[in-house]
Amino acid sequence: MFRTLMIALMIWAQIVKVESACDTQLQNGLFQDLLNMMMKIKGSSSAEPSTCSCKKIVIAFTASLSATKSIGSGAVVPFDKVLTNEGKGFDPNTGIFTAPRKGFYQISATTMSAHGAYFHSYLMKNNEKTVGMYPGQGPQTGSANIVMKLKKEDRVYIKHRNGDTEKIYSDPDHWSMISGFLISE
């Protein structure tokens, strides 16, 4: 019965569309009446269509390095100045973002080598390299911008490559930073 009614409504809507005289108020009123009829047939307690009061989940973070630091071989860059941490996934004590939810995330990072120095690093997902950043002899910047599919509890961070200790430059202007946000689940 419902299927037959829906087919009839779709055909009627096409007829109204073809024969209409572009009276949008009339069409909107007719459409609202159709919705109300369908809601009554479906057994809704209200003739008005329901509206979703869903709260959109926001997960976003941005953190920077507050000062120039020497980073040892294989060490995680300790981004310690948190600018945004919606969803509480970023830990400034470790410099690691832990995904609070599964989904697709946009992750961006910029590193700056100190004057006359180099800084080699990787954007890591758990313990795996994703992309490298090599700013060159400083002051120079290197950047990465990547979309990642993360599971809940996956970890994302910037890690200095294995080798000699190198300096990463930053100051209150936030030259070296990491940022990310949930695109969709």
Lowest mean pLDDT among 4-13, 37-46, 152-161, 163-172: 4-13
Helices (H), the chain: 2-19, 24-42
Write b or e for each residue in 52-71: b if 16 or more Cβ atoms lie within 10 A of its Cβ, otherwise e: eeeeeeebbbbbbbbebbeb
Lowest mean pLDDT among 36-50, 110-124, 149-163: 36-50
Reported as a single tens digit per residue, the pLDDT across 128-146 is 999 999 998 989 999 999 9
Residue 15 pLDDT more than 80?
Answer: no
What confidence tier does 163 reach under pLDDT thresholds 50, 70, 90?
confident
Residue type, 120: H
Residue 37 pLDDT more than 70?
Answer: no
88: Cα separation from own chain's centroid: 14
Q: Give me the count of residues in the chain.
A: 185
More confident residue, 46 or 89: 89
Residue 162 DSSP class? S
Task: Tell me the three state secondary structure of residue 159.
Answer: strand
What confidence tier does 42 reach under pLDDT thresholds 50, 70, 90?
low
Residue 53 pLDDT more than 90?
Answer: no
More confident residue, 158 or 32: 158
- Round to whole Å and give the CA distance between 81 and 172: 9
Q: What percent of the chain has pLDDT over 90?
A: 65
- Round to whole Å and give the CA distance between 29 and 63: 51
Rg (CA), the chain: 27
The stretch 7-23 carries a mean pLDDT of 50
Residue 23 pLDDT more than 70?
Answer: no
Determine the pLDDT at residue 55.
Answer: 73
Reported as a single tens digit per residue, the pLDDT across 73-98 is 999 999 999 999 999 999 999 999 99
The stretch 20-34 carries a mean pLDDT of 56
Structure tokens at 21: 């005289």
End-to-end CA gap in the chain: 36
What value does the mean pLDDT of the chain take? 84
Q: Please count the helices (runs of H) and the strands (runs of E) in the chain.
A: 2, 12
185: Cα separation from own chain's centroid: 9
Structure tokens at 71: 């980073």
Separation in Å, CA 71 to CA 77, 116, 156 = 7, 16, 18
Residue 9 pLDDT more than 90?
Answer: no
